[in-house]
Amino acid sequence: MTTGIPVTLAAVTLEAARAKGVMIATAESCTGGMIIGSLTEVAGSSDVVERGFITYSNTAKREMLGVSPVTLAQYGAVSEQVAREMAEGAVSRSQAQIAVAVTGIAGPGGSEHKPEGRVCFGLAYEGHDTIVKTVNFGPIGRANVRSATVITALEMMQNALEA
């Protein structure tokens, strides 16, 4: 993540946040901190990066972000419902005004209902409706799913900030 598209995209995302005067938080499961890492790779990011929550386990999602045990039980960790609660929890439990959340199956593995490469995204931005979406990257390998997730998450933030 030290070169290439994610760092360039991270820099553009940071500039968009700077222009809006907002702080960024992330709530990450399947990426394990790669999104916040791509943002903090850019020199000067500390003026808009507030914090990153790495919530790999369901316990962490509940304790750190306030994800409902009922939501986890009903929909599972890899769901738009959980991604929504993760993103909204990251905003409400930080000083950030925008947060992106990711939860997915990076692989290997998965199931018929939640296949390898499925990632659910949530984007909470104060004063706006929370956005959720699911992307099925397919069985492209763990590293590729995680990298594609970082790019998609940064693009979501950039698009929201530039709207």
SS3 of 133-150: EEEECCCCCHHHHHHHHH
CA–CA distance from 68 to each of 4, 47, 96, 102 (Å)?
A: 37, 31, 21, 16
pLDDT in tens, 52-61: 999 999 999 9
pLDDT in tens, 20-45: 999 999 999 999 999 999 999 999 99
| Cβ neighbours, 10 Å, residue 126 | 11
| Statement: residue 1 has pLDDT above 60 | no
- pTM for the whole structure: 0.95
Phi, psi dihedral angles at 26 (to 5 degrees): -125, 155
Quote the mean pLDDT of the chain. 95
Pairing assessment for the beta strands 24-28 and 131-136 based on DSSP bridges: unpaired
pLDDT in tens, 102-118: 999 999 988 888 999 99
Q: Per DSSP, what are the bridge partners of residue 104?
A: 119
pLDDT in tens, 65-116: 999 999 999 999 999 999 999 999 999 999 999 999 999 999 998 888 899 9
CB 83 within 8 A of CB 101: yes
